[in-house]
Amino acid sequence: MVRQVDITKIDLSTGKAQKIADYVAEEVPLHLFVNTTFWATILCSPTNLKELAVGHLLSEGIIKSIDEIEEVTLKEKENTCIIKLKPDIKVEDRVQISRLHARVITSACGSGSPYQYKGAVPKVESNLKVKAQIIFESVNQLNFKAEGFRKTGGLHVAAIYQGDGSLVSLAEDVGRHNALDKVIGMAALEGVDFGGCFVALSGRISGDVAFKAAKVGLPIVASLAAALSSGIASAQESNVTLAGFVRGKRLNIYTSPERIII
């Protein structure tokens, strides 16, 4: 996930240059197949690749639960993951309602995202209520737990917590949507009930992030960063609670504020 490189560092205050070793985040392609059909190439960090593949298919609605998976095969040398579904699953029907219009998913997202929304965003039904202090502490823990980010400054981090603040899963990736897919996959493979959890992020809350949370039933999304208008619109439609700028002893709640209590 992290690679050491040689750089020339220039200090403008002293006018000096020196050659030093530094660290950068790695980015690799993951070629994802569903059964024998190529699904997409995801540009990502080379960690938790099985979990990324599973989480991606869950958050895109290609599979409804991990019970539909028969086998997951990761071929590391080929950067390929093959997810074999059970025979009664009609993959073609799922693909037709997918949002994915491009077959290369870049680590960047936002206005250049390959995602387009089709149909209604799923409604999240959850009675979860979480103390604001727990949300604040959980989001702010990300800075301490994100070892790759501290080394490179080039990674996003996501984590899923139970309502009491206990950590369920945490992952880093060059793409914020990839980091979210990884923690979703990790939690799903452990049989976690998403309705009793919330997700904390380091990156902006865009429409695709809110959509992915809603698709698996995560009722609260909280981030160190800002919410985008697309994220707010998606969260309003899906009844997801969105909290941004969770830092400095404050947080901004954009949608469904009743789930976060003082």
Tracing tokens 């949608």 back to the chain, one arrives at 255
Give the DSSP H/E element, type plus range, for residue 209.
Answer: helix 207-216
Q: Give the chain's end-to-end CA distance (angstroms, integer).
A: 38
Exposure of 90 in the CB half-sphere (CA atoms within 13 A):
4
Tracing tokens 């969260």 back to the chain, one arrives at 235
DSSP class of 52:
H
Task: Answer yes or no: are the C-beta atoms of 211 and 189 closer than 8 Å.
Answer: no
Task: Look at strands 220-223 and 197-201 and give their pairing.
Answer: parallel
Q: How far is CA 99 from CA 20, 113, 200, 241, in A?
A: 44, 11, 24, 22
Which is catalytic among the residues 44, 81, 109, 197?
109
| Catalytic residue check, 109 | yes
Q: How far is it, in rounded angstroms, from Cα 61 to Cα 113?
A: 18
DSSP class of 170:
E
Catalytic residues: 109
